[in-house]
Amino acid sequence: MRRFEDTYRHKGLRKKLVEHLRQKGITDETVLEAINNLPRHYFLDSAFDEVAYEDRAFPIQVGQTISQPYTVAYQTQLLEVKPFEKVLEIGTGSAYQACVLAEMGAQVYTIERQKALFDQNKQFAFLKKFHNIKFFYGDGFEGLPTFGPFDKVIITAAAPFIPEKLIQQMKTGGKMVIPVGEGNVQRMLRLTKQADGSYTEEIFDNFSFVPMLEGKEGH
Ligand code: SAH
């Protein structure tokens, strides 16, 4: 069960979380503002109400997780999102990351391979206010060829390799933020697509994500 009440206490805890993220090196004020605006506890079972603003990942349904706030902030900062940009997200999960992007004014296209999570988000009334998020049930390795090309792509699961089809669906000059690696630890990469279709690569810190898996789950 979830509880949808944003009390002064929640707001206060959120401000502290934002200050913590600032101290950890997040400098993009638009990212911090989006996190400050979003009641993260709405995205979790009410059992997590006390801890929802700790800088930790938490379990959601079907063995998946809502990413740690620092990870969300870090990836979003690397993405350099500007209002009205088309952003493709792989791994909707709780939809928290999608809402951060939407708060920043992006046009968000988000794909989830777990039917149970996709269905839960369809029932999640808070998401109705985000007219700039489109939800898809599918395999993120395929992307959304009919909705591209995208300005930005963000992968929120551990990618075993860089999905070529997603590179194809990016605009020239577009950026992809992707954690790559198959073990317990992944390296955060930022790719920038060049005019000839190739990409340049920048390497950032290590993180730990649930795996990006091929195909869909559920029906
Ligand atoms: N962005 C999410 C993080 C969820 S964890 C949030 O803010 O909560 C990663 C999610 O990626 C999981 O829900 C998992 O089911 C999903 N996922 C893994 N492989 C995928 C794929 N190939 N296509 C789409 N979603 C995928």
pLDDT in tens, 110-142: 999 999 999 999 999 999 999 999 999 999 999
Ligand 1 atom with minimal separation from the 139 CA: 23
The 10 Å Cβ neighbour count of residue 148 is 19
Residue 190 belongs to some domain of the structure: yes
Residue 88 dihedral angles phi and psi, to the nearest 5°: -100, 125
Residue 24 belongs to some domain of the structure: yes
Q: How far, in Å, from the CA of 8 to the mean position of ligand 1?
A: 31
67 is catalytic: yes
Residue 39 belongs to some domain of the structure: yes
Residue 171 belongs to some domain of the structure: yes
Q: Is the pTM of this model over 0.95?
A: yes
At 24, which CATH number?
A: 3.40.50.150
Look at residue 23 and tell me whether its pLDDT is greater than 90: yes
Q: Read out DSSP for 141-204?
A: TT--TTT--EEEEEE-SBBSS--HHHHHTEEEEEEEEEEE-SSS-EEEEEEEE-TTS-EEEEEE
**Rounded average pLDDT over 6-29:** 98
**Rounded average pLDDT over 88-96:** 98
Ligand 1 atom with minimal separation from the 94 CA: 8
Q: Could you give the percent of the chain with pLDDT greater than 70?
A: 100
Is the separation of the CB atoms in 138 and 157 below 8 Å?
no
Each residue's pLDDT tens digit, 199-216:
999 999 999 999 999 999
The structure tokens 């279709």 sit at 197
The predicted pLDDT at position 1 comes to 87
Residue 1 belongs to some domain of the structure: no
**Rounded average pLDDT over 138-147:** 98
154 C-beta closer than 6 A to ligand 1:
no
Is the separation of the CB atoms in 4 and 129 below 8 Å?
no
**Rounded average pLDDT over 20-33:** 98
The predicted pLDDT at position 138 comes to 98
The predicted pLDDT at position 219 comes to 81
Catalytic residue among 67, 94, 198, 208: 67
What is the token pair recorded at 190?
């930022």
The structure tokens 């792509």 sit at 153
**Rounded average pLDDT over 154-161:** 98
Domain range for 14 is 8-207
Phi-psi group of 48: left, alpha or beta (phi > 0 → left; psi -120 to 50 → alpha; rest → beta) = alpha
The predicted pLDDT at position 9 comes to 97
Cis ω before 149 (30° cut-off from 0): yes
Q: How far, in Å, from the CA of 171 to the mean position of ligand 1?
A: 23
Bridge partners, residue 78, by sequence: none
Domain count of the fold of the chain? 1
Residue 49 belongs to some domain of the structure: yes
Q: How far, in Å, from the CA of 178 to the mean position of ligand 1?
A: 12
The helix/strand/coil state of 42 is helix
Residue 217 belongs to some domain of the structure: no
65 C-beta closer than 6 A to ligand 1:
yes
110 C-beta closer than 6 A to ligand 1:
no
The predicted pLDDT at position 72 comes to 98
